[in-house]
Amino acid sequence: MSSPSRRTVLATGSALGGALLAQGLPAPAAAAADRDDSTTPGTLGTSDPWRAVLDDADLVWQRMPTTWYEGPYLGNGLLGSGIYAEPGAPTRAVRFNVQHSEVQDHRPEFGSLFGLARLPIGHFTLEPVGTVTAVDWRLGLHDAELTGTLTTDRGTLTLRALVHTSRSLLAVEVTPSPGERGFRWVFHPADAISPRAAFKPLPDGYAGNPPAETGDHDGVRAAVQPLLSGGQHVTAWRETARGDRRTLYAHVAHSYPRTTALPTALTAVRDAARLPYDALAATHRTWWHAYYRKSFLSLPDARIQRFYWIQLYKLASAARRDAPVMATSGPWLEPTPWPNTWWNLNVQLEYWLIHGSNHLELDAVTRALGEFRDNLAKEVAAPYRSDSLGIPRTTDPHLVNGAAGTLTGYGVGIPGQDPPTPEVGNLTWALHNVWLSYRHTMDESVLRDVLYPLLRKAINYYLHFLEPGPDGRLHLPATFSPEYGGDTRDCNYDLMLLTWGCRTLLDSADLLGIDDPLAPRWREVLARRVPYPTDTNGFMIGADIPFAKSHRHYSHLLAVYPLYEVTGRTPDERALIERSLAHWVGFEGALQGYTFTGAASMSALLGKGEDALRYLGELMSRFIEANTMYKESGPVIETPLSAAQSLHDMVCQSWGGIVRVFPALPDAWADLTVHGFRTQGAFLLSAVRRGGVTRWVRLVSEAGAPCVVRHGIPGAVEVRDGRGRPLQCRTVGDGTLEVPLRKGESALITARGDHPDRTIAPVAPNAPAPRWGLPA
């Protein structure tokens, strides 16, 4: 079959405006999307399918967690708390960390990893009267709340804890038995120094900030942390008693350059402490219940299904549109060599999950790149700042890198000139995430106001250095492929991003009606750029460097995934992908968790569901920790989140203007249910597979974009609209239909003459599996 043109793929009948990205699915659209299902008897079954899968996915602890990688975690994108035994005193105290994604230093002269680093705040210890003998905790995903008991040789402490979704408040209610009425809370301020100091030498002249000052403020305690750069961050807390219940309320505020955090924090705690825990929990739960109901996925592997729903919980605990773009450990800062935001893979992988799961309300990447674009000009050398942008490997939440560690004072190196690492492609790759947000919403304001102007300047930076060689082709001077080591001419990381960028700019200009004077140059790049360097093993790192050692990063394979520029359209292209993938993962030694998520997604592209599942199995068995967190030299969170995207890629793909339903499922997943899955073109997909056969597929169009679907239903099919009337569709390939849908309309595809049960419900697991956490 012939694929739709990229112009057709990008087109939409009307813009949705900015509301979708700002707030998620608007209520009227949500109602329209569900209207047909809600009037169909039995569609949602007799019980709540979301409650069923979420309760099943709860993490449990019947052994005391002792590290960040084992314990419960609570958060709201800003405030985060990881909970585990106090190191050195595991039977005497439980630690509730208090960290905040906006709390950072402000000394750019020492660079993003010291002078602009996120700063640790501190932790509370819950100190019982007796010695801890047992724990029985449950992190309830449905309510985003930790509940359970702590048993000591003197009695029990029954607790409930949450980080409120909108108040940025840690609330912990404890009900002690008589022997434990003397328990106490103690706050321990952390040293306000970059966490990298525990791993790397301090820059010359760098010193930690002075100690915090703790005091009482009319019944509210506060630890005031002054900063050498000016400003402060403050942790304020109060404990109140209502009958036998004692509740701790804690809030963190940050201000720079003014010292206004103290009154802000005191007011927040006083206001919250007037409310009993149950009142706070009610509004908190309302938000979380609505959040989960934007999409649904159930599959017969119980361990992976639970993992998936935990990632959705983790995502909303770590991300909000107006919160900082996630740093490497999210809001749960721990000792780490990476105390800021990483742009050469981490950010991109952290946010892919928002698209298919229908959670664009969490898209901080689009918001931050648009808001702080002026800072991106400062990250390229002065001669290029008038028409170019770039983002270095690491920045603070405002996309500032600082001058430390460079000889030049800018973060993005000059191709062919700057030793040692001109890592140029990071901004273009980040803008691919913005493009995905546009494609999944068809919100033209994202394309016009953020993607197009920023991508134009990101690609313009490349154009300053692209030059013809003796072969008549356009070549790039030496740049750096993330993490492989060594600079190389015609680096695949950059060539692949440059190609995607030029193609996307041309399509976007056409859609926006812009007659851009740079368009001829973009066309020239696509026509004349040197082919991607390859050898007998597949894609090379670049013209000067073969792929010849273990390497965790797929920087040399971006054209395959996630850019989908090389997709296996011909037998030779497919063989190139297979050869490159096998060669990449064939080197043990440096492989890490996201190696296997990338390999799973590339296998899914090729339709190899068994291989994709095998790679996810490698990830689960070798790298995922007890609470589904992940570590390398320090805590990082991108890999589990990207594993959820790999699962999405097995369930649905929508690149190239075609919605592919169940493109890469393993045989063991004979039953599967998906509902409210957001695809490119702004469609909401629902589909059910039973006994290894796709029974029905339903698409709701939010934007009236062209709808082409590879439905996977065997044999002849019939297509009906939301009122049950036949829809005249055009067959454009084997199992592929072009469906005429206007904005707000829906199509139901079934086998001809079939009237399948359209219940949205969890599928039965193939086998029992242990819960995540530390079960007995």
Residue 504, domain member (yes or no):
yes
Choosing from 268, 293, 309, the residue where a domain stops is 268
- Residue 367: give its domain's CATH number: 1.50.10.10
What is the number of residues in the chain? 776
Judged against a pLDDT cut of 90, whether residue 46 lies above it is answered with no
Judged against a pLDDT cut of 70, whether residue 34 lies above it is answered with no
Tell whether 373 and 485 lie within a shared domain: yes
pLDDT digits (tens, 9 = 90+) for 102-120: 999 999 999 999 999 999 9
Q: Within a 10 A sphere around the Cβ of 716, how many other Cβ atoms? A: 8
Give the pLDDT score at 88. Answer: 94
User: In Å, how far are 49, 127, 363 from 359, measured between CA atoms?
Assistant: 19, 39, 8
- Identify the H or E element spanning 581: helix 571-585
Judged against a pLDDT cut of 60, whether residue 776 lies above it is answered with yes
Q: Please state, in angstroms and rounded to a whole number, the distance separating the CA atoms of residues 658 and 678.
A: 13
Tell whether 92 and 235 lie within a shared domain: yes
Give the pLDDT score at 633. Answer: 82
Question: Could you tell me the maximum CA-CA distance found in the chain, to the nearest angstrom?
Answer: 86
Going by pLDDT thresholds of 50, 70 and 90, the confidence category of residue 410 is confident
Give the pLDDT score at 403. Answer: 66
Q: Within a 10 A sphere around the Cβ of 13, how many other Cβ atoms? A: 12
Q: What's the one-letter identity of residue 168?
A: S
Tell whether 208 and 72 lie within a shared domain: yes
pLDDT digits (tens, 9 = 90+) for 350-375: 999 999 999 999 999 999 999 999 99
Judged against a pLDDT cut of 70, whether residue 16 lies above it is answered with no
Distance of CA 496 to the CA centre of its chain: 22
Mean local confidence (pLDDT), 583-591 = 91
Give the pLDDT score at 409. Answer: 66
Among 276-285, 628-637, 717-726, which stretch is predicted with the lowest mean pLDDT?
628-637
Residue 401, domain member (yes or no):
yes
Tell whether 101 and 212 lie within a shared domain: yes
Q: Please state, in angstroms and rounded to a whole number, the distance separating the CA atoms of residues 659 and 639.
A: 25
Residues 6+ apart with CB under 8 A from 181: 129
State pTM to two decimals: 0.94
Going by pLDDT thresholds of 50, 70 and 90, the confidence category of residue 405 is very low
Mean local confidence (pLDDT), 124-148 = 98
Provide, rounded to the nearest whole percent, the portion of the chain with pLDDT above 90.
Answer: 90
- The count of structural domains within the chain is 2
Choosing from 511, 537, 553, the residue where a domain stops is 553
SS3 656: helix
Token pair 């900015």 is found at 18
- Identify the H or E element spanning 720: strand 717-721
Give the pLDDT score at 418. Answer: 80
Tell whether 130 and 261 lie within a shared domain: yes
Residue 628, domain member (yes or no):
no
Judged against a pLDDT cut of 70, whether residue 407 lies above it is answered with no
Residue 210, domain member (yes or no):
yes
DSSP annotation string for 380-431: S-GGGTTT-----SEE-TTS---STT-SSS-SSPPTTTSSS----THHHHHH
470-501: b (≥16 Cβ within 10 Å) or e: eeeebbbbbbbbbebeebbbbbbbbbbbbbbb
Give the pLDDT score at 451. Answer: 98
Give the pLDDT score at 408. Answer: 56
Distance of CA 471 to the CA centre of its chain: 42
Q: Please state, in angstroms and rounded to a whole number, the distance separating the CA atoms of residues 500 and 494.
A: 10
Average pLDDT for the chain: 93
Judge whether 248 and 210 are in contact, CB under 8 Å. Answer: no
Residue 291, domain member (yes or no):
no
The whole domain housing 522 covers: 363-553
Tokens of 277: 């825990």
Distance of CA 136 to the CA centre of its chain: 30
Tell whether 97 and 239 lie within a shared domain: yes
pLDDT digits (tens, 9 = 90+) for 346-356: 999 999 999 99
- Residue 169: give its domain's CATH number: 2.70.98.50
Give the pLDDT score at 485. Answer: 80
SS3 110: helix
Choosing from 553, 583, 599, the residue where a domain stops is 553
Tell whether 394 and 536 lie within a shared domain: yes
DSSP annotation string for 279-305: HHHHHHHHHHHHHHTT-EEE-S-HHHH
Tell whether 396 and 509 lie within a shared domain: yes
Strand partners, 60: 138, 773
Tell whether 257 and 120 lie within a shared domain: yes
Mean local confidence (pLDDT), 668-690 = 98
Tell whether 387 and 261 lie within a shared domain: no
Tell whether 381 and 514 lie within a shared domain: yes
Strand partners, 395: 341
Judged against a pLDDT cut of 80, whether residue 4 lies above it is answered with no
Residue 152, domain member (yes or no):
yes
Tell whether 375 and 262 lie within a shared domain: no
Among 22-31, 244-253, 412-421, which stretch is predicted with the lowest mean pLDDT?
22-31
Strand partners, 215: 222
612-627: b (≥16 Cβ within 10 Å) or e: bbbbbebbbeebbebb
User: In Å, how far are 92, 175, 234, 727 from 121, measured between CA atoms?
Assistant: 22, 27, 9, 59
Going by pLDDT thresholds of 50, 70 and 90, the confidence category of residue 47 is confident
Going by pLDDT thresholds of 50, 70 and 90, the confidence category of residue 33 is very low
Judge whether 453 and 492 are in contact, CB under 8 Å. Answer: no
Residue 423, domain member (yes or no):
yes
Residue 94, domain member (yes or no):
yes
